[in-house]
A and B are shown apart, each in its own frame.
Chain A
Amino acid sequence: QVQLQESGPGLVKPSETLSLTCTVSGGSISSSSSYWGWIRQPPGKGLEWIGNIYYSGTTYYNPSLKSRVTISVDTSKNHFSLKLSSVTAADTAVYYCARRGGSYSSAFEPWGQGTLVTVSS
């Protein structure tokens, strides 16, 4: 059973780069049927898709974040990563990683537990 776990700093200063890693266990990140995604949720607000990556490295980003986002994959470590540059307080959110595809078409399932990232000086 595939499980995902986010990791990274919980506090980032304004104008700096947010960096998170999602480690996949119980399955291979190189699965041909899966994409791997990042989604975030500001406190008390809804879900916002950030982007997806395929094991080959092909990426798809939310147009509203594209200029600041980089998602990469390391198949040898079975993990993928998120970098969001020039952060502001508006980037404070719980960041989730999730698998897109697998048994459920283009749905996101499962999700990681999420990690809260606060942008503050």
Chain B
Amino acid sequence: SYELTQPPSVSVSPGQTGSITCSGDKLGDKYAYWYQQKPGQSPVLVIYQDTKRPSGIPERFSGSNSGNTATLTISGTQAMDEADYYCQAWGSSTDDVVFGGGTKLTVL
């Protein structure tokens, strides 16, 4: 079965740029999606189709996807960005859904 691998944790200083990676076999041939989840809340979509931002998501969130790695980048990180982030792609077919294990982003 298809797997997506994320680092368990990433730390970034306020105002700096933080990046979270998501790795999977030929992930660049698929679309990658990213979700932000704060404690006690439901996930929120922050990036879709590799690079696009849903309405209401700040411009400091950006994404890329190439080769075997998709990356979520947060520029000018703010304390409010501290959360768990999950990548998602399709698996063996476009109807099959796979989530990465999640990355805890700490802003300190």
Contact = CB atoms under 8 A, between A and B. Distances in A.
Contacts of A60: 95-96
A91 interface: no
Interface stretch (A16-24, A67-75, A76-84, A102-110): A102-110
A87 B95 CA distance: 25
B42 A96 contact: yes
A107 B45 contact: yes
B98 A49 contact: yes
B37 to A, nearest CB: 8
Contacts of B97: 37, 49, 52, 62, 100
B90 A108 contact: no
A47 interface: yes
A107 B35 CA distance: 9
A37 B99 CA distance: 13
B61 interface: no
B48 A46 contact: no
A111 B90 CA distance: 18
B94 A46 contact: no
Given A47-B43, A106-B94, 20 more contacts: A46-B100, A46-B101, A46-B102, A47-B88, A49-B98, A49-B99, A52-B97, A100-B97, A104-B45, A104-B54, A105-B33, A105-B48, A106-B33, A107-B33, A107-B48, A108-B33, A109-B48, A111-B42, A112-B42, A113-B42
30 contacts: A47-B86, A47-B88, A47-B99, A47-B102, A49-B98, A60-B96, A62-B96, A62-B97, A63-B96, A96-B42, A96-B43, A103-B54, A104-B45, A104-B48, A104-B54, A105-B31, A105-B33, A106-B90, A107-B45, A107-B49, A107-B88, A108-B35, A108-B45, A109-B44, A109-B45, A109-B54, A111-B42, A111-B44, A113-B42, A114-B42
Interface of A: 37, 39, 46-49, 52, 60, 62-64, 96, 100, 103-109, 111-114
